[in-house]
Amino acid sequence: MNDLQMAEETLHERHDLRLLHRLYPFVRPYLRLVLLSIVLVVGITLVELTLPYVTKMAIDRHIVPVEETDRLGPGDADISKAERAAAYAGLPLEERRRLRAHDLAGLGHLALLFLGLVAVNFILNFLQKLVMEYAGHTIMHDLRVRLFDHLAQLSVAFYARNPVARLVTRMTNDVQNMHEFFTSMISLLFKDLFLLVGILVVLFTLHWQLALVSAVVLPLVVGTALGFSGPIRNVFRDQRVKIAEINTRFAETIDGMAVIQSFRAEKRNADLFRSLNHENYRLGMQQIHLFALFMPVIEVIGVITLAALIYFGGGQVIQNQISLGVLVAFITYMRMFFRPIRDLSEKYSILQNALASAERIFLLLDTQEQLPQVTDRASSAETVASQKTATGLQRVQPPAAEDLRRFRSLQFEQVDFAYTPEEKVLNQVSFTLRAGKTLALVGPTGSGKTTLINLIVRFYDPTAGRVRLNGHDLRHLPLEQVRALLALVTQDPFLFSGTVKANLFPHLERVDSAEFERVVAAADCQDLIARLPEGGDTLLAEGGSLLSSGERQLLSVARALARDPQLIILDEATSYIDSETEARLQAAMQRLMTGRSAIIVAHRLSTARQADHILVLNRGVVVEAGSHAALIEKDGFYARLYRLQGLGSEAPAAITA
């Protein structure tokens, strides 16, 4: 199991405030937009709080005014209100309209005010949504760029241990969850909190006794939310892991479909996927069960509160202690009060999902597996000014800029390397390559040839010893300048989705047609380019999957030529191709190496025999070194390997260490 997967599955509970604090640097550049959104939310809240109060005014002032029966004029004090109301009700419709003309006019004015407030609410909501969506998208843009840049700086060792699909999940699903958090949660959180506080203030202003009855449920609501928060958070955390595992399984299935089908392993692979998918389904149902219980509990609390409010408030209306308008306003405000609580409950899933994703994202951002790097001469001088050696602290002179403009030499000084501490891959390897020379690395599979190449390109640093370029330790040189001197052609080259030109010249935005033709001709790719539907502008699928291995190799040689490097590294570039393509590729590589230094990793010793110097590796140790003729004359390990491939006159002999 890889390190990131283990870390994800053993994550401890993190405080939400800590995660939110870590998100603040991404919000800070757009704080003005967030503050503007909050100001708009305050305006929306004030408008929404005003609407029920307008209803109260309409009821108390115009629909059921306290003095409505007094409009009959002065009467006998012995006549009860009920009798006066009955007399009023018995009046003709026109007479009642005349008596209530002022109320009808007042209702018209309040209706227009109500519509105006609704229009203002619409405009404020539109602007607030627009501002917050823009802020959310830009924040997510920055988060994706930060995550992408961080991934680009991580060492090759990190990618060797972590599945691609898991990292893609971090970049897509988890970032999308954060997007929903920023675009909806922040504004809705402030809106709902402001609305809750505003409703409480209005309720206590209208009638503090009824407000106390309504506020009794608050501790119950808070306690319910806190009680459900832990289980819900755990479910979302487990779901993030399962989704990443599903993506990993799906990506591996697509990449290995040919192997799966050739070994008739479809059923077993489907069973494994079905098991993962069922676990994700089980977690999804567990989440649904939690919310299916949580939401009705909140609804029940709201209904009980309204029932208590109707009972106590209705009694006070009957006793003429409050007006009917106050009771209606209270009921409306309480329904509004539970709306943000329901919204917060529903958005709670978004919050928990976002926090679970934030854990995953920050886990990745906290991963520090970069190789130590310097970016310029100043930082190089600072890095190597105090270097520990066997004799203590020694000042090291940083390289001059011109030292890295041309390749002069490459040295390995007693280099050890191990991917894991308990098993060395290279042991005390030493050699020197001078400018203009060709070095061949040969040996059985697993002898450390590719690992040695990885140290030259500085995908890894040696665990002991030094790799020197032009006399300077690679660890003390700017990585960009080091890699600008060389080009690597691997045994299984990777082509990116895009045009052929973009693959050959990835460092250039525009490619001169004459330069493109020159590179294509030098790499003997004319026939290949001519067969493609649109020539150099033909779009390639990811990995160049529609091309043969030989065609991909020819294009990778052309890509190396386009860089015009001074050191060429060929890592078993002819391993998987036929003899005819190999001949063409050998010619292309010969043109590539002309006038340049080269390192060739070769299983086929027919390729190595033309090298100026041959290094023979076995089990990470240099067992022999010299020219082809000298090694054959020595009749040692290399000679036996040479005969084993049927290249010598003697019968093949067994290879021994």
Q: How far apart are CA 233 and CA 406, in angstroms?
A: 57
How far is the C-alpha of 254 from the C-alpha of 561, rounded, in Å?
32
Strand-pairing partners, residue 570, are: 489, 600
pLDDT digits (tens, 9 = 90+) for 354-396: 777 888 888 888 888 877 776 554 444 444 444 443 333 344 5
What pLDDT is stored for residue 63 in this prediction?
78
Distance CA 498, CA 505 (A): 11
124's tokens: 């404020």
CATH 3.40.50.300 at 407-644, yes or no = yes
Please answer whether residues 290 and 297 qualify as being in contact, where contact means their C-beta atoms are separated by less than 8 angstroms.
Answer: no
> Measured on CA atoms in the order 133, 241, 3, 163, is the torsion positive or negative?
negative
The percent of residues in the chain predicted with pLDDT above 90, rounded, is 13
**Position 283 pLDDT exceeds 80:** yes
Do residues 593 and 569 make contact, with C-beta atoms less than 8 angstroms apart? Answer: no
- Reply yes or no on whether the pLDDT at 606 is more than 80: no
CATH architecture of the domain covering 3-75+82-365 = Up-down Bundle (1.20)
Residue in the block written with tokens 């191990």: 418
Angle in degrees, 0-180, between the axes of helices 324-365 and 186-206, rounded to the nearest 10: 150
Strand blocks (E) in 435-572: 438-442, 464-469, 472-473, 486-489, 498-499, 539-540, 567-571
pLDDT of 652: 39
> Where would I find the H helices in 28-80?
31-57
Q: Tell how many helices (H) and how many strands (E) occur in the chain.
A: 26, 14
pLDDT for residue 205 is more than 50: yes
Mean pLDDT throughout 39-67?
81
Q: Cβ distance 563 to 403 under 8 Å? A: no
Q: Are strands 392-394 and 426-434 parallel, antiparallel or unpaired?
A: unpaired
- The backbone torsions φ and ψ at residue 387, rounded to the nearest 5 degrees and listed phi first, read -115, 125
Average pLDDT, the chain: 78
Q: Which of 344-353, 387-396, 408-417 has the lowest mean pLDDT?
A: 387-396
Task: Please compute the mean of the pLDDT values over residues 206-230 and round it to a whole number.
Answer: 76
- Is the pLDDT at 649 greater than 70? The verdict is no
> Which residues, at least 6 apart from 408, have a Cβ–Cβ distance to it below 8 Å?
434, 435, 470, 471
Query: What was the pLDDT predicted at 96?
Result: 66
Is the pLDDT at 122 greater than 90, yes or no?
yes
Domain extent listing, the chain: 3-75+82-365, 407-644
216 has pLDDT over 80: no
Most confident of 122-126, 195-199, 271-275, 525-529: 122-126
Mean pLDDT of 346-357: 73
Q: Would the pLDDT of 8 be above 50?
A: no
pLDDT in tens, 288-324: 888 778 778 877 877 887 788 788 888 888 877 778 8
Identify which of 290, 273, 162 has the alpha carbon closest to the alpha carbon of residue 234.
290
Residue count (the chain): 657
Quote the CA–CA distance of 443 and 295 in Å, as a whole number. 68
pLDDT for the residue numbered 186 = 65
Classified as helix, coil or strand, 5 is helix
Most confident of 160-169, 245-254, 527-536: 527-536
